Each structure stands twice: as structure tokens, then as C-alpha cells.
Amino acid sequence: MKPSRSAAPPLTRLPRTLRSAAALAEAGLLPHDSALEAVGARYAVAVTASLAAKMAPGVPEDPIARQFLPDARELDDRPQELTDPIGDNAHSPVPGIVHRYPDRVLLKLVGVCAVYCRFCFRREMVGPGAETTLSDEVLDGALAYVAGHPEIWEVVVTGGDPFMASARRLKELMARLAAIAHVKIVRFHTRVPVAAPERVTAALADALRVPGLTTYVAVHANHARELDGEVRAALARLADAGIALVGQSVLLAGVNDDADTLARLFRALVEARVKPYYLHHPDLAPGTAHFRLPVERGQELMRALRGRVSGLALPTYVLDIPGGHGKVPIGPGYIEPAPEGWQVTDYCGEVHTYDPLAYDPLAGDPATEP
């Protein structure tokens, strides 16, 4: 017998955010199930009314629902999964800072999000039990670290979701970063424009603009249905304020693991003035095996998109090496050594020979000689 469902109230009457499996069940988005309650007890749950309205009630395979609704499979930990899959802790010289690459650092401003993705690589570190925002003392120490390392050119503000902080707090942070002469770029990683577009106000956009700094916002979206009119309007408020937008997506089984779905997503982002930046292979976070797929499948998808989707709409397919060793591109290869020069495969699968030594720039190209 299937678990019973409650009759769903109109989504317009839902509270702004549903924060438990029980609340999601009362809204008709989940069955009443003790296993789902156990998932919610272990990992944070939050689904905004905006995202709930995009879901097909009672359809767990819906690509929006699959990303945000608790799933009993999250309790299935695998031996290779890690509580800190990308090695934040190993590269944290002071609280609030992760310094993995020479010229940039992560600043973990907050520990909460507007919505909790079920595949999150920081799922063991974020949520209601986490520090809501860095204390003044910890933030002072983090910014002192940045100021004391002149090689730091970029500060990536993350969390949690930094757009959960108030516009006033973000404006104060930007002013303090602008006072550090060697910091030139500030990048915010956020789900808020998709999960809670009403938070992207003119005041927030204004807070991100400070003389002496260039601001980027990396927006996380995994399916074109996430980008409805309200979300596009929120993104336009940022773009119209002169803020550069890039897109980050995660390749997820059952959500976007086919070429047509990815093409629609990437085109929708470009139409909203967001340049697709990274397509992440899923990280080895606990309880996320049902989202992962073989690297070979991701390479097949990227090969299928090459040449059929504008270069503006193609991100780099990357793997964040477990243990904190950084991101590397893992897309398909198109060129390999041949006895004479190189063998190059085009986007249609046809193979061509390229021999750079056959073309003498001083003598000219024989094919064009009169």
C-alpha cells in the first residue's frame, strides 16, 4: 500500500518556505512517510513557495521536485562518500576562509540557504544548526587574512547562500573588500534568484556595486523550468545594474541528464543574460548516489551539444577532485596525435588530419597560390 497523501492546499496559500517533510506532505508534495521525516532530521529541508509552485504534486520524478524534496535514498551512505567532499576544511587557514587556489579565496559568509538542494556538497555543514552569519569577530579575522595575502585577487562569497544576508550587510562587506587594494573581483555564488526571486531587490543589486571592484554573480540553475518570468526579472535587475552573471549547473541523473534538457537550460540562461560557466559532475556527498552518473555519460552529453548549441551556451564540464585538489575539465577530447600532425574529430564525428607543419607562414599556403 502506498503512503497516504493529504489533499494539497492551493500553492498560493502556502507559507513562504516549507521546512520539513511533514509540511511538504501537508502541501501534497510528499507522502506521509517516516523515512522522509528521518531524512529531514539528518539534512536541512527548505522549499520556497516559488519553487513549490513549479513542481508537479505527487510526481517524485519531476525534475524540480527531485532536486529539493527529501528522498529516502539519502539515508543510503556509500563507502566512497565524504562529509567534506571538496576538502574545504583541509584548506581553511582561518574560520570563514577557504584558500585552495593561489589568487582567490572563498569567504563563507552565511551557513543557511533559501532552499536546500538534496545533492548539496556542503549538506553536512549548512542548515538551521549552522552559524547564520559570520560573527563580527570571525569576519574581521577572515578579512584580515585576505588583506594580509597580496596574491588574493578574487574573493568568492559563498556559504550557505550569501544572498540570504541583508542588502545592508552585503553593502558593508563590499565596502570593506574595496578597501583591500589587491582585491579586484568579488564573486557571489547563489541560488536565491531562482529559489526566492523576490529577495533580489534594487537595494540588493545596488549593494553589490562598489567603485574599485568588479562584481560577478554565479547563479545555480539545473533545469529550464526553474527560469520562469519572476526569475528572469530578478536576473534582469542584476544585469541592468551592470553586474556580470554566470551560470553554474550540476549534472544530475533524472533531472538534466539528456542533451535536449541541457540545451534548453543553457539557452534559457543565455537568453536571461547568464553565461553558462560550469557544468559540475556531482560530488561524493553522503546520500547522493542516486544523483550520480558515469563521467562517460557526461562526456557523451557534452559531445552531443558541441556544434549544435552556440558556444555562448556551452559551459565547461568539470570535476571537483575529492580531497580539495581543485576543479579540472573532464569534457570529451577532439584532438589526438597522429603519425603526421594531429587527428581532429569534428562535432559530426568525422575525422580530419591537421598538420601544422604543412603550412609555412613565410611561403604562403600552397592551396591559395595563384
Question: What residues are labeled active site?
Answer: 100-101, 104, 113, 117, 120, 122, 283, 320, 327
Cβ-count burial of 327 within 10 angstroms (0-12 exposed, 13-18 middle, 19+ buried)?
middle
Distance of CA 123 to the CA centre of its chain: 14
Q: 231 vs 19, 76, 113, 237, 317, CA distance in Å? A: 21, 34, 17, 10, 24
- Strands 97-101 and 104-108 turn out to be antiparallel
Angle between helices 167-178 and 136-147 (to 10 degrees): 30
The answer for 351, left when phi > 0, alpha when psi is -120 to 50, beta otherwise, is beta
Helix, strand or coil for residue 129?
coil
Assess contact for 226 and 68: CB atoms under 8 A. Answer: no
Helix, strand or coil for residue 350?
coil
Neighbours of 95 (CB within 10 A): 15
Q: Which residues partner with 343 through β-bridges?
A: 336, 353
